[in-house]
Every structure is written in C-alpha cells, then in structure tokens.
C-alpha cells in the first residue's frame, strides 16, 4: 500500500519548453545561418552594383548623345593633331622646351582656326530629282541637285556629297545669299543592269587642313533601277505564246467551247447540251461533248546558280531573254510565272517583273535546275509552255533531269545563252533546246522553233 500511495502522489516530471523541445528535435547545423546571411549580403551588393551599372550606362548614353555631334566633327587627322597639341603643351610647360611650346602654339592656332570653318547653323533646302527612276541598260539617266539657302543670312561655301552606288560625287556649292539657289546636273552611268542607290545628299564643311569635318544629311536614299535589255517578240512568238482565248487539250469536258463529239445521254447531263437534230434522227437522246481548253500560261525557269554560267555576260543575256519572254506574255494578257533558285519573281506587272529581274545576282546556290523544275511542276500546274533559260555550263544531263520533272502536257523549251555562238536548235528528251549568241537572235530562234 505504501508503494501504491507513493506512486499516486508522486508528481510527474516537468515538461520541457516547446521551443526548447523543437530546438532539440531539429537542431540547425552549424554554419548554415552565416551562409544565409552572406548570400543575402551578396544579393544586395549585386543588386546595388546592377542599379549602379544601369545608372552609369544611362548617364554615359546621355553624355554621348550630347557630345557625339561635337566629337564626331573631329577627323582622325584632327584627333592626332589634338593629341600632339596636348603632348606639346605638356612638354613645353613642364620641361620648358621652347621648341615644343612653339609646336603647341602653332597646333592650337590651327585647331582654333578650323573651328571657324565649321561653325554656323546650316539651313539648306536640298532636293534631288532624277528624270526617270527606271531606265534600260545604256540609256541616259540624268539627275538634278538643287540647293537653296533657306535662311535670312548668307551661307558660306560648302561641298555637297551625293552617294551614287559605291562611289561619291562631289559638288561644290558657292556662297549663297538669302533665297539664292545653286543647281547641279549630273549623269549616272548605266552600262550594266543594277539597282543603284542614290543618296543621301550630305553637306560637308571642313578646314583646309582637314582637322574638322562637319557633315549634315539632307535627303533620304533612293534607288535607280537599270533594267535589262529586252526585245519585243510580237509576230515572232506565234505558236509559242498565242491563243488568248485558250489552248485546246486532249482532256474531255462536258461544257466548253471546242466541240469534240456526240455521246448518249446519261442521267445528270445538262439538258442544254442535248443535240436535238441527232436525237430526232436516232431516236435516242444525244449530248454534245467538248475538248477542254485552258488559258495559255508561260512558266520561265531562270537559273541564277553561278555554276551554270561561264561568265557574267552569259547571265546578263539570260536575264534579257527571260525579260523579253515575260514582257511578251504580259502584253498578250497571258499568265506568267518566273521561278529562280531564290524563289519566285513577280510576273503580274511589267514594272514589278523588271524590278525583280534587276535585283537578281548570281549566287553559289546548291539548288539544282532539276529541283527548281520539281517546284515548278508542283506550283504551276496549268502551264502550257515552260521555258528554261540557262548558261553554257548546263549539260544535256541536267536538262534531261529537269525535263522529266516538268508537266508532261506542257511544251518544253530550253534556251541556252552562249555569247558569240550562232543560233542552233536541238532536242533533249521532250525538250527543244535553242542556243542563243545574242539577244537579237531570240525572235529568229523562236521562228525556227515554230517552223
């Protein structure tokens, strides 16, 4: 009993504190808290450095935006003279060298004098006009540059620079009184097919020594298109591009304009096509059957791969042949599709087609002629004539590989451009091959092909 009483009256041991118990159950490893604090400090320092860097970058950008117009006036030679001047002043003052002091004074006077030549606000009204922005190779392209003093005071002499292609044309502008004008007429060489950038027009002021050079742009750049030479093919293309109303095909249609034959009536036929005279004679309903006609459509494949041409002159002849065929198709209101290795040339309008042909250049493309023919067969399914224009390095094997990929119901013609060669005609598979030595041979070659 005594033992039982002691057990009942004995006080239970005191429960430990909850926080202490938690701390005892999951004690934090030593060193983790300092590392967390270090990471927080590092993150704060990094964010501060980032903000400081962005602020410094913004400040430097604003400073450069304000100082660039001034620093940009100094030419490379001017920077060299400026460095020499600083070194000469340092040597002349610090080392008491009279020779360097003389050099420093002379260079300083030259720099101050150069500033006088470029100071002043320029208020020119500059206009650039070209008689025609689209000319043919060999035609005269004339332009006019008009400079007018739009300020209320006289303007010192200046120089206008006009970028023409890769070169720069320079026009001196004399001293202009208020509202005075100065006009310059210039001609752009058009010896080759090209897209020639014209402009921008910049005014240039500089000192005689070339220490400072101040440029201001007055016009936006424009483009002058020098189109390839082309020939009209009216009369010579009869048989190749003709039949404005459509081309008769072997396909049979129940409704068209070219009558083919009569057949028995089948339920569902259009009663308007019943031939009543034959029906009355035979006692059975007879309906007309027609040959399907299609709109004449020309597809031209022009190779722009450098490996297909012996020299650039062959490619220029090929572009001219392609342009002549395309223009004739557009004149006759027929469909036109022009394909090259880079894609498709616009053929919906003569100007757009010639502009695209003018931009074409030879390229080391890996796309073969057969692959372009495969694309043409898949995209131009309604072509009635397919003309392949290539250079002298295209072999009969290449032409045969292209011919087997072109539509079987189209007339296939290959025109191989070989400057200086005589006109000849051959055949590769189902494709007629014409050899052209110059552009005037094209009409005669088409006549010979149609004979």
* CA–CA gap between residue 140 and residue 234 (Å, rounded): 26
Say which residue, 60 or 134, is predicted with more confidence.
134
H or E segment at 181?
Answer: strand 181-188
Q: What are the DSSP calls for 28-92, one per residue?
A: PPTTHHHHHHHHHHHHHHHHHHHHHHHHHHHHHHHHHHHHHHHHTTB-HHHHHHHHHHHHHHHHH
Q: Is the pLDDT confidence value at 52 over 70?
A: no
Q: Is the pLDDT confidence value at 315 over 90?
A: yes
pLDDT at 37: 66
Two tokens at 289? Answer: 């059957």
Q: Is the pLDDT confidence value at 406 over 50?
A: yes
pLDDT at 66: 56
Q: Grade residue 434 by pLDDT with cuts at 50, 70 and 90.
A: very high
Q: How much is the average pLDDT of 392-414?
A: 91
Q: Grade residue 359 by pLDDT with cuts at 50, 70 and 90.
A: very high
pLDDT at 252: 45
φ, ψ at 214 (rounded to 5°): -110, 125
Q: What are the DSSP calls for 359-407, one per residue?
A: H---B-----HHHHHHHHHHH-TT-SEEEEEE-TT--HHHHHHHHTTS-
pLDDT at 208: 86
Q: Grade residue 305 by pLDDT with cuts at 50, 70 and 90.
A: very high
Helices 312-331/350-359 angle, 10° precision: 170
Q: How much is the average pLDDT of 113-139?
A: 89
pLDDT at 43: 66
Q: Is the pLDDT confidence value at 33 over 70?
A: no
- Cis preceding-peptide flag for 200 (omega within 30 of 0): yes
pLDDT at 122: 80
pLDDT at 348: 86
* CA–CA gap between residue 112 and residue 48 (Å, rounded): 44
Q: What is the pLDDT of residues 144-192, one digit of tens each?
A: 999 999 888 888 888 999 999 888 999 999 999 999 999 999 999 999 9
Domain boundaries, the chain: 71-118, 124-227, 248-294, 297-450
Instruction: Among 58-72, 245-259, 382-396, name the most confident range.
Output: 382-396
Two tokens at 249? Answer: 């095909």
Average pLDDT of the residues of the chain: 81
Share of the chain above pLDDT 90, in %: 42
* CA–CA gap between residue 195 and residue 381 (Å, rounded): 33
CATH fold group of domain 297-450: Rossmann fold (3.40.50)
Q: How much is the average pLDDT of 11-39?
A: 50
φ, ψ at 171 (rounded to 5°): -130, 115
Do residues 369 and 394 touch, judged by C-beta distance below 8 A? yes
Residue at token pair 């309906």:
287
Q: How much is the average pLDDT of 350-364?
A: 94
Q: How much is the average pLDDT of 431-442?
A: 92
pLDDT at 228: 96
Query: Which ranges of 219-349 does DSSP label H, i.e. alpha helix?
Result: 276-282, 312-331
Q: Is the pLDDT confidence value at 236 over 60?
A: no
Q: Is the pLDDT confidence value at 416 over 80?
A: yes
pLDDT at 380: 86
Say which residue, 157 or 202, is predicted with more confidence.
202
Least confident of 263-267, 309-313, 351-355, 387-391: 263-267
pLDDT at 75: 87
Other CB atoms within a 10 A radius of the CB of residue 390 amount to 25
Say which residue, 435 or 16, is predicted with more confidence.
435
pLDDT at 295: 56
If phi over 0 gives left and psi between -120 and 50 gives alpha, with beta otherwise, what is residue 239?
A: left
Say which residue, 376 or 15, is predicted with more confidence.
376
Region 124-227: CATH code: 2.60.40.10
pLDDT at 135: 95
pLDDT at 65: 55
**CB-based burial label for 179 (10 Å; 0-12, 13-18, 19+):** exposed
């Amino acid at each position: 009993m005594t033992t039982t009483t002691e057990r009942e009256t004995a006080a239970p041991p005191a429960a430990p504190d909850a926080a202490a118990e938690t701390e005892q159950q999951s004690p934090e490893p030593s060193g983790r808290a300092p590392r967390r604090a270090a990471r927080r400090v590092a993150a704060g320092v990094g964010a501060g450095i980032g903000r400081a860097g962005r602020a410094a970058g913004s400040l430097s950008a604003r400073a450069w935006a304000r100082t660039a117009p001034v620093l940009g006036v100094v030419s490379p030679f001017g920077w060299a003279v400026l460095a020499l001047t600083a070194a000469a002043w340092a040597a002349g003052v610090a080392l008491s060298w009279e020779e360097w002091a003389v050099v420093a004074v002379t260079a300083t006077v030259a720099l101050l004098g150069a500033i006088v030549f470029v100071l002043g606000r320029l208020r020119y009204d500059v206009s650039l006009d070209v008689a025609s922005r689209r000319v043919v190779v060999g035609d005269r392209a004339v332009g006019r540059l008009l400079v007018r003093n739009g300020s209320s005071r006289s303007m010192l002499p200046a120089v206008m620079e006009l970028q023409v292609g890769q070169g720069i044309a320079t026009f001196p502008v004399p001293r202009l009184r208020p509202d005075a004008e100065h006009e310059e007429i210039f001609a752009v060489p058009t010896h080759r097919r090209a897209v020639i950038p014209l402009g921008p027009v910049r005014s240039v002021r500089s000192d005689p020594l070339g220490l400072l050079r101040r440029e201001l742009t007055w016009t936006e750049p424009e483009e002058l298109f020098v189109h390839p030479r082309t020939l009209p093919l009216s009369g010579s293309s009869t048989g190749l591009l003709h039949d404005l109303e459509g081309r008769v095909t072997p396909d049979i249609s129940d409704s068209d304009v070219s009558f083919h034959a009569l057949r028995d009536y089948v339920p569902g036929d259009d009663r308007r096509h019943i031939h009543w005279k034959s029906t009355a004679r035979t006692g059975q309903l007879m309906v007309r059957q027609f040959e399907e006609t299609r709109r004449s459509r020309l597809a031209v494949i022009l190779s722009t791969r450098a490996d297909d041409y012996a020299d650039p002159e062959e490619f220029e002849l090929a572009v001219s042949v392609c342009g002549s065929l395309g223009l004739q198709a557009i004149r006759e209101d027929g469909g036109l599709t022009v394909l090259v290795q880079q894609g498709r040339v616009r053929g919906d309008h003569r100007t757009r087609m010639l502009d695209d042909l003018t931009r074409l250049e030879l390229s080391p493309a890996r796309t073969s002629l057969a692959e372009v023919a495969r694309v043409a067969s898949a995209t131009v399914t309604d072509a009635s004539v397919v003309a392949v224009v290539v250079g002298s390095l295209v072999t009969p094997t290449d032409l045969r590989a292209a011919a087997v990929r072109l539509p079987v119901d189209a007339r296939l013609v290959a025109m191989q451009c070989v400057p200086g060669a005589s006109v000849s005609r051959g055949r590769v598979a189902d494709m007629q091959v014409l050899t052209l030595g110059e552009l005037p041979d094209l009409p005669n070659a088409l006549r010979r092909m149609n004979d």
